[in-house]
Amino acid sequence: MPGTTPSQTVGPFFAIGLPWPDGELVVPEATAGAIRLHGTIYDGAGDPVPDAMVETWQADPDGGFAHPDDPRGGSSSFRGFGRSLCDGDGRWSILTLKPGRVAGPGDSMQAPHLDVSVFARGLLNRVVTRVYFADEAGANAADPALRRIADERARATLLAHADGDGGYRFDVHLQGDDETAFFAV
């Protein structure tokens, strides 16, 4: 009787079927107020993941979404969606506008944030997190999702920090001591 066959990860096939026509450009490069949000995806050993993909979805600067179900009717010129394939060193990047605050449960307001999905080898399903901005301390303190995360270390993994070049850095750690906080969706 033969022994068990070793498992094998299938894919990823991101570079074949999933490139987005505008890729990392949520807004055109000449857009006033545009920021570059960027980072690196790391595996559990702390090594960069060169073949991951990051998708982002966000509100416009006024807190509206480019979606027909948004009663506020977000800007028709702001798509809010971006997709970045990681390079050989696990780096990803999008060019976007900083989102505005959006309504939360009850009468609460959510802090400016982006919803982020990460697809990578070894993941049967995407992992989902949020990017908040470290320079929005007041709004972050009142955000209902951040307030539900009791662990200060986990909450800190959701903060993007200014990079000194007018953008923000946000690294994702899929596992390990620095694991990013992920949401069940």
Q: What is the mean pLDDT of the chain?
A: 87
CA-to-CA separations, 122 to 7, 44, 77, 86, 142, in angstroms, rounded: 11, 11, 36, 15, 35
Whether 15 shows a pLDDT value over 60: the answer reads no
Strand stretches in 7-46, DSSP E:
35-42
Listed residue (143, 130, 139, 114) closest to 172, CA to CA: 130
In this prediction, residue 5 carries a pLDDT of 58
- pLDDT, one tens digit per residue, over 170-185 is 999 999 999 999 998 8
**Better-scored residue on pLDDT, 79 or 38:** 38
What pLDDT sits at residue 4?
64
CA atoms within 13 A on the CB side of 55: 14
CA atoms within 13 A on the CB side of 119: 15
Find out whether the peptide bond into 12 is cis, omega within 30 degrees of 0.
yes
Q: Pull the structure tokens for residue 116.
A: 């982020």
Give me the pLDDT at residue 32, please: 94
Compute the C-alpha angle 108/179/155, nearest 5°. 25
Asked if 36 and 93 touch (Cβ cutoff 8 Å), the reply is yes
Would the pLDDT of 2 be above 90? Answer: no
Distance (Å, rounded) from C-alpha 142 to C-alpha 149?
A: 12
Average pLDDT over residues 100-113: 93
The H or E element that residue 115 is part of is strand 113-119
3-state secondary structure of 53: strand
Asked if residue 91 has pLDDT above 70, the reply is yes
What's the confidence (pLDDT) of residue 121? 81
User: Could you report the per-residue pLDDT of 125-144, keeping only the tens digit for each?
Assistant: 899 999 999 999 999 999 99
Q: Radius of gyration over alpha carbons of the chain, in Å? A: 17
From the number of C-beta atoms within 10 Å of its C-beta (0-12, 13-18, 19+), residue 4 rates as exposed
What pLDDT is attached to residue 49?
94
Contact 156, 47 (CB under 8 A): no
For the chain, percent of residues with pLDDT exceeding 90:
69
